[in-house]
Amino acid sequence: MSLPVMVLRVVVGVVLTGAVLHASETAAGVPTTREQAQEVFTKQVKPFLETYCSNCHGEKKSKGEFTYRYAIKYAGSPAFRQLWNHAAASVKAADMPPEKEDKQPTAAERKMFSDWIAGMKHLSPKDPGQFVIRRLSKIEYGNTLRDLFGVDPRAAAILPDEVFGAGYSNSLSPLLMEQYLLVANSVLDQVFAKAGQPPTAVEQRIITARPGNGVDERAAAQRIANDLARRAFRRPVSTAELDVLLSAFDLGKKHGRDFRESVRLVVKAVLVSPQFIFITPVSGDEPKSGVVALDDHQLASRLSYFLWATMPDAELMALADQGRLRDPTVLAAQTRRLLSDTRSRALFDGFGAQWLGIDKLAGKTFDPEKFPEMTPALRQSMYDEARLLFDSIVREDRSVRTFVEADYTFADAKLGALFYGMKIDGEGMQRVKLTNANRGGILTMPGVLATTSFPNRTSPVNRGVWVLEHVLGEHVPPAPANVPALEKQDQSKVATLTLRQRTELHRTDPVCNNCHKILDPIGFGLENFDAIGRWRERDESGGAVDASGELPGKQRFSTPQELKKIIAARLDDLCHNLTGRMLAYALCRQLEGYDEIVVDGLVTNIAKDGHRMQNLVVAVVTSYPFMHRRIGDLPGAGNEKK
């Protein structure tokens, strides 16, 4: 979605200003404990709202579709986080209450209000978040079939595409169930040779026992069922579960099937069982509510699906069987082992690509007349460049700073010629050292630059927003509805202006300028890159590109290289953003109140040892919400009123 070029809400601008200007300062008035946050809320925030806001946004009215009447009842509830942020921004910017109102808060009152919101996370009680058994995603399901049966993971290709990580829907429909059965049928056809044909290698591996030598058919089937189900369910199998699988064998025999055909039915039963489709706890009665530690096998699955998008391997399973995986040293070592394995590529495909937004590149529309180069093959290479950079930072355990300031990249002949002015020999993607410091890192990577462009031109505003949101983790809400875009300008007056000059016209309006003074300089700093990421000296108008700018705090730059340096200096923000996003991905849910406190703690630790990438992942894996789960609703979070 493209943001209108001219504007972002004024109030947003002020929040951004605050963040960029004061990122390193600690505001004295931000509550740091639960008690403090609660006290300020009761004694100051509530009276503030009643005095200044209640006429328009209180119990009776919701002017501009905005009311705090629900939020005030559950102030700490994550559901209202965005509302409070919005309110804080408006009040801080002196946008609210409106000028025409007689009653206006003092500067100190405004500060108290926005400080309280900054510290509101402390209202949240310690909580790992509600846990609900999770269905394997399409990718995970395909990979798991590969590991179990040696089939191509594309066996799962008929399942609908879905988003993984924080936005995962985790629901099952009749359509999906039907597709699971279809996939199971096709897997069975690959695993079991047709009658009269010699058995396949996989079949031989699955059939771990045969009747004969005093072993009857049923005993052999039981052994087979147990061995397979243990792996497929990723945990020990209960007697009751084994009985169900054995009754599938009996069903086959009753229908006159031979041993092999009946075993095939057992495998089919495994494939359509909820224990295979969902990651379920080791059997035993679950408590009805409360916080419990993840059992070893669940932890093994969570870790393995997080980093590899597939089932735990033998080593992880053995550690889980021995009950050793919860030991933090063992868990950290296993995390590093999984990251070093090539299967951790899944972390980029599932997480990294979403984080950078580069997962959109393949389907993005570009004007074919203007950019005939954007073939599927080139897009794939651009994607691979980002993937390989991400992988190198993970596997080589580099500082997360490398994401912004890498002095190397990966390119094939096409990328080398088009973007880097290099002749690259050999097949496929190669690691190359960069001598031009304007390149390197995600800010100036062609795939990213192309992702934030319009089909026919660059969007400095989109690029500015991308850097703020994806790199520094700030929140930039979409533009309001009634704002004119660049194209509305009087064409006769702007025809000879560069895009930068045209965009800057809005800067003469102090209201717009308030926020665009952050966004635009970043975007303009990247104007030397065209809509698909090629270097250029002149933009579409023919005018020379002016990539200089100044960010609040008198931070001047004149080239992309210098801009990168300013952004890289905000390493803690980058690290905080990346850690938070990764935790959300690992948990398959959005982060809520207490998670923010967790992330703060993790980032402090990660910073102590050079912001190294593997430490970051280990921190996520050994965190409280990753290793625990809450069953049932959290008391006092606004859920109990139903």
Within 259-288, the residues that bind another protein by CB under 8 A are 265, 268-269, 272-275, 277-278, 280-281, 283-288
> 278-279 and 290-293 as β-strands: parallel, antiparallel, unpaired?
unpaired
Interaction between residue 188 and another protein (CB under 8 A): no
Interaction between residue 333 and another protein (CB under 8 A): no
Dihedrals phi, psi of 430, to nearest 5 degrees? -125, 150
Interaction between residue 196 and another protein (CB under 8 A): no
Q: Which of 66, 150, 343, 601 binds another protein (CB under 8 A)?
A: 66
CB 450 to another protein: min, Å:
12
- Distant-in-sequence, close-in-space partners of 392: CB < 8 Å, separation ≥ 6: 398, 408, 410, 431
Interaction between residue 185 and another protein (CB under 8 A): yes
Q: Which of 173, 435, 496, 604 binds another protein (CB under 8 A)?
A: 173
- On the CB side of 67, how many CA atoms lie within 13 Å of its CA? 12
CB 560 to another protein: min, Å:
26
Interaction between residue 169 and another protein (CB under 8 A): yes
Rg (CA), the chain: 28
66 CB-contact burial (10 Å; exposed 0-12 / middle 13-18 / buried 19+): middle
Interaction between residue 72 and another protein (CB under 8 A): no
Interaction between residue 491 and another protein (CB under 8 A): no
CA distance 265 to 260: 9
CB 550 within 8 A of CB 556: yes
Q: Which of 431, 488, 493, 507 binds another protein (CB under 8 A)?
A: 488
Q: With respect to another protein, which residue has the nearer C-beta, 167 or 553?
A: 167
CA distance 387 to 356: 10
Site for another protein, residues 311 to 330, rule: CB under 8 A: none
Rounded to whole angstroms, what are the CA distances from 116 to 30, 362, 406, 477, 546? Answer: 6, 43, 38, 21, 41
CB 226 to another protein: min, Å:
15
CB 642 to another protein: min, Å:
6
Interaction between residue 26 and another protein (CB under 8 A): no
CB 364 to another protein: min, Å:
6
Interaction between residue 36 and another protein (CB under 8 A): no
CA distance 327 to 634: 27
Q: With respect to another protein, which residue has the nearer C-beta, 226 or 639?
A: 639
CB 232 within 8 A of CB 276: yes
Q: Which of 483, 484, 464 is nearest to 567 (CA)?
A: 464
Q: Which of 7, 14, 9, 26 is nearest to 92 (CA)?
A: 14
Site for another protein, residues 120 to 159, rule: CB under 8 A: 130-133, 135, 158
Instruction: Give residue 74's identity as a one-letter amino acid code.
Output: Y
Site for another protein, residues 603 to 632, rule: CB under 8 A: 631-632
Q: Which of 402, 407, 398, 416 is nearest to 434 (CA)?
A: 407
Site for another protein, residues 1 to 20, rule: CB under 8 A: 1-2, 4
Site for another protein, residues 354 to 383, rule: CB under 8 A: 359-367
Interaction between residue 505 and another protein (CB under 8 A): no
CA distance 66 to 45: 17
Count of residues binding another protein (CB under 8 A)?
A: 102
Interaction between residue 67 and another protein (CB under 8 A): yes
Q: Which of 427, 430, 392 is nearest to 411 (CA)?
A: 430
Measured in residues, the chain has a length of: 642
CB 541 within 8 A of CB 496: yes
| Span near another protein by CB under 8 A; candidates 249-257, 318-326, 393-401, 428-436 | 249-257
Dihedrals phi, psi of 158, to nearest 5 degrees? -75, -15
CB 626 to another protein: min, Å:
18
Q: With respect to another protein, which residue has the nearer C-beta, 269 or 415?
A: 269
CB 303 within 8 A of CB 335: yes
Dihedrals phi, psi of 623, to nearest 5 degrees? -75, 160
Q: With respect to another protein, which residue has the nearer C-beta, 353 or 551?
A: 353
Q: With respect to another protein, which residue has the nearer C-beta, 535 or 626?
A: 626
CA distance 342 to 501: 47
Q: With respect to another protein, which residue has the nearer C-beta, 540 or 546?
A: 540
CB 446 to another protein: min, Å:
17
Q: With respect to another protein, which residue has the nearer C-beta, 184 or 299?
A: 184
Interaction between residue 408 and another protein (CB under 8 A): no
Q: With respect to another protein, which residue has the nearer C-beta, 249 or 420?
A: 249
Query: Which DSSP symbol is given to 167?
Result: G
CB 634 within 8 A of CB 125: yes
Q: Which of 21, 118, 176, 494 binds another protein (CB under 8 A)?
A: 176
| Span near another protein by CB under 8 A; candidates 140-148, 320-328, 476-484, 550-558 | 476-484
Q: Which of 481, 508, 537, 542 binds another protein (CB under 8 A)?
A: 481
Dihedrals phi, psi of 493, to nearest 5 degrees? -85, -25
Residue 233 host element (H or E): helix 217-233
Site for another protein, residues 548 to 567, rule: CB under 8 A: none
Per-residue interface string for the shown chain with another protein, residues 437-456, x marking contact by CB under 8 A:
-----------------xxx
Interaction between residue 590 and another protein (CB under 8 A): yes
Interaction between residue 190 and another protein (CB under 8 A): no
Q: With respect to another protein, which residue has the nearer C-beta, 198 or 287?
A: 287
- On the CB side of 475, how many CA atoms lie within 13 Å of its CA? 8
Query: Which DSSP symbol is given to 212?
Result: B
Interaction between residue 55 and another protein (CB under 8 A): no
